[in-house]
Structure 1
Amino acid sequence: MKNLVPWMTIWIVISWYGSNIGVLLLNKYLLSNYGFKYPIFLTMCHMLACSLLSYAAIAWAKVVPMQSIGSKKQFFKITGLSLVFCFSVVLGNVSLRYLPVSFNQAIGATTPFFTAIFAYLMSQKREAWITYVTLIPVVAGVIIASGAEPSFNLFGFVMCVSATAARAFKSVLQAILLSSEQEKLNSMNLLMYMAPIALAILLPTTLLMEGNVLGVTVALARKDVKIVYYLLFNSSLAYLVNLTNFLVTKHTSALTLQVLGNAKGAVAVVVSILIFRNPVSFIGMLGYSLTVLGVVLYSESKQGNK
Structure 2
Amino acid sequence: MAFSEGVVKKVILSYTYVSIWIFLSFTVIVYNKYILDRKMYNWPFPISLTMIHMGFCSSLAYILVRVFKLVEPVSMSVDLYIKSVVPIGALYSLSLWFSNSAYIYLSVSFIQMLKALMPVAVYSIGVFLKKETFRNETMINMLSISLGVAVAAYGEAKFDVWGVTLQLLAVAFEATRLVLIQILLNSKGISLNPITSLYYIAPCCLVFLSLPWFIMEYPLLRDKSSLNLDFFVFGTNSFCAFALNLAVFLLVGKTSALTMNVAGVVKDWLLIAFSWSVIKDTVTPMNLIGYGLAFLGVGYYNHSKLQALKASETQKRNQQQSDEESGKLLDEKEGGANARKNENQN
TM-score norm. by structure 1 comes to: 0.91
Give the Å deviation of 1:189. 1.2
- One of 276, 280, 285 as aligned partner of 1:277: 280
Deviations 1:90-136 (A, max 9, x none): 00011110000000000011100011110011125214432222212
* Cα offset, 1:272, TM superposition: 2.3
Q: Could you report, residue by residue, the CA deviation over 1:225-270 in whole angstroms, capped at 9, with x for unpaired residues?
A: 7x33111111111112211111100111344233212212222222
Aligned counterpart, 1:13: 18
What does residue 146 of structure 2 align with? 139
Counterparts in 2 of 1:285 and 1:43: CA distance versus 1, 3 Å = same
Task: In structure 1, list runs of 5 or more residues that go unmatched.
Answer: none
- Report deviation, 1:5: 2.9
Q: Bigger CA drift: 157-166 or 123-132?
A: 123-132
TM-score, with structure 2 as normaliser: 0.81
The one-letter code sitting in structure 1 at the alignment partner of 2:294 is: T
The answer as to whether partners of 1:41 and 1:213 remain within 8 angstroms in 2 is: no
Equivalent residue for 1:45, pick from 28, 39, 52? 52
1:57 maps to amino acid:
L
* SS of aligned partner of 1:280: coil
Q: Percent identity?
A: 28
> C-alpha separation between the residues in 1 aligned to 2:63 and 2:18?
22
Stretches of structure 2 lacking an aligned partner (at least 5 in a row): 310-346
Q: Displacement of 1:278 after TM fit?
A: 0.7
Letter matched to residue 96 of structure 2? V
Residue of structure 2 in register with 1:91 after alignment? 98
Partner of 2:114: 107
Rg larger in 1 or in 2? 2
In 2: Cα distance, 1:238 partner to 1:261 partner:
16
In 1: Cα distance, 2:99 partner to 2:22 partner: 18
Residues 40-82 of structure 1: per-residue CA shift (max 9 Å, x gap): 0001011111101222333344443322323413333201110
AA at the equivalent of 2:212: T
Distance 1:190 1:254 in 2: 16
- Greater mean alpha carbon deviation, residues 258-267 or residues 9-18: 9-18
**Alpha-carbon distance in structure 2 between the residues aligned to 1:71 and 1:158:** 35
Distance 2:193 2:227 in 1: 39
Which of these residues, 242, 249, 254, is aligned with residue 251 of structure 1?
A: 254
Higher RCO, 1 vs 2 (CA within 8 Å, ≥6 residues apart): 1
Counterpart of 1:241?
Answer: 244
Preserved contact between residue 70 and residue 183 of structure 1 (Cα < 8 Å): no
Q: Which amino acid in 2 is paired with 1:24?
A: I
Counterpart secondary structure, 1:180? helix
Count of matched residue pairs: 302
Other structure's SS at 1:18 match:
helix
Whether 1:261 aligns to 2:264 is: yes
Distance 1:146 1:67 in 2: 43
The RMSD of aligned alpha carbons is 2.2
Judging changes above 3 Å, is the alpha-carbon distance between structure 1 residues 262 and 219 closer, same or farther for their aligned structure 2 residues?
closer
Give the whole-Å Cα distance in 1 for the aligned partners of 2:192 and 2:167: 28
Compare 106-115 and 170-179 and name the one that shifted more.
170-179
Q: CA 1:179 to 1:112, structure 2 compared with 1: closer, same or farther past 3 Å?
A: same
Amino acid in the other structure paired with 1:102: S
**C-alpha distance 238-35 of structure 1, shift in aligned 2 (>3 A):** same
Shift of 1:214: 4.6
Counterpart of 1:157 in structure 2 is 164
CA contact (8 A) 1:79 1:194 kept: yes
Structure 2 CA distance for partners of 1:171 and 1:160, relative to 1, 3 Å: same
Change in CA separation of 1:209 and 1:290 when aligned onto 2, cut-off 3 Å? same
User: What is the CA–CA distance in structure 2 between the aligned matches of 1:114 and 1:287, rounded to whole Å?
Assistant: 18
Q: One-letter code of the match for 1:243?
A: L
For 1:211 and 1:181, the matched residues in 2 are separated by 39
**2:218 counterpart SS class:** coil
1:259 match: secondary structure: helix
Could you tell me whether the CA contact under 8 Å between 2:102 and 2:164 is conserved in 1?
yes
Specify the alignment match of 1:130 in structure 2. Answer: 137
Larger deviation, residues 289-298 vs 251-260? 251-260
Q: Distance in 2 between matches of 1:261 and 1:211?
A: 35
Separation in structure 2 between the aligned mates of residue 254 and residue 82 of structure 1, nearest angstrom: 21
Contact 1:128–1:305 (CA under 8 A) maintained in structure 2: no
> SS of 1:267's equivalent?
helix
